[in-house]
């Protein structure tokens, strides 16, 4: 996964578990594409402080993912849904319909 996309996904799933201060700085870095210097100025901390905080947030978010696997499950479900879409665009032969039912059942178990 592209780094920014991965950071955004992790933040979407686990960002609420960060402190308000961490959230604000992380959002400026990931969503607002601000430089470390810009973020530091806006929050009254050093550029190095911003860098360290972003790295710490990355580590925290990765730790949540390694324990909970919500992003991994989401990405898997998304791939299955894409497959369902492809299968339903084609004709509705019995074997394809069976595969659609299997995928739907898998999705229901996961979510």
Residue 85 pLDDT grade (very low, low, confident, very high; cuts 50, 70, 90): confident
Q: DSSP readout, 37-58?
A: HHHHHHHT--HHHHHHHHHHHH
Question: What is the pLDDT, as a whole number, of residue 92?
Answer: 58
Task: Work out the number of other CB atoms within 10 angstroms of the CB of residue 109.
Answer: 7
Whole-number Å distance between alpha carbons of 54 and 45: 13
Contact criterion met (CB below 8 Å) for 63 and 51 = no
pTM of the prediction? 0.78
Question: What is the pLDDT, as a whole number, of residue 91?
Answer: 59
Between vectors from CA 18 to CA 54 and to CA 29, what angle results, nearest 5°?
30
Mean per-residue pLDDT of the chain: 89
Q: Of the candidates 76, 54, 58, 55, which has an alpha carbon nearest to the alpha carbon of residue 66?
A: 58
């Amino acid at each position: 996964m592209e780094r920014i996309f991965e950071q955004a996904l992790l933040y979407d799933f686990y960002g609420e578990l960060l402190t308000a201060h961490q959230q604000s700085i992380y959002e400026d870095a990931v969503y607002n594409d601000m430089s470390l210097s810009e973020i530091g100025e806006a929050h009254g901390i050093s550029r190095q402080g911003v860098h360290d905080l972003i790295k710490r947030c990355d580590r925290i978010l990765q730790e949540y993912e390694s324990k909970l696997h919500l992003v991994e499950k989401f990405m898997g479900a998304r791939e299955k849904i894409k497959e369902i879409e492809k299968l339903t665009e084609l004709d509705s032969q019995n074997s394809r319909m069976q595969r659609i039912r299997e995928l739907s059942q898998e999705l229901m178990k996961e979510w």
